[in-house]
Structure 1
């Protein structure tokens, strides 16, 4: 899966600070920012878990190589 470019949340935060937005729009943008941050954190956790599971299922050395080293 190709990596997507990182979403720049700072531009949205600046929009909240300097934009002429209504309160309802500000709340919606803030909620979206929080949701994206939660998704980034969850994605990082899932990637770590996937790497850990793959490492456990696929030993780094083949069985034959391991046996040869122990002889």
Structure 2
């Protein structure tokens, strides 16, 4: 995803230099891109925490599994 983010920042800079955007619009877009970056980072942290939490706990105890299969 970082290649998309870098491309978005470059495109924003190009639009700013060409004068196609007002200053407040460019600031708003930069803020949206920043929030998107933070959301991606949070999503990555949550995925890692979920994988870590799922890896620690067995899905079913051995006694319960044996009782269900009898």
Q: How does the TM-score come out when normalised to structure 2?
A: 0.66
5+ long unaligned stretches in structure 2:
63-70
> Any runs of at least 4 consecutive aligned residues in structure 1 with deviations exceeding 3 A, and if so which?
none
Count of residues in correspondence between the two structures? 57
TM-fit CA distance, 1:9: 2.0
Alignment partner, residue 53 of structure 1: 53
Report the structure, 1 or 2, having the larger helix content: 2
How does 1:2-13 map onto structure 2 within 5 Å? 6=1, 8-13=4-9
CA distance, structure 2, for counterparts of residue 25 and residue 10 of structure 1 = 19
CA distance, structure 2, for counterparts of residue 45 and residue 14 of structure 1 = 26
Q: Is the 8 A contact 1:12 1:29 kept in 2?
A: no
Alignment partner, residue 40 of structure 1: 40
5+ long unaligned stretches in structure 1:
1-5, 64-71
CA distance, structure 1, for counterparts of residue 7 and residue 29 of structure 2 = 11
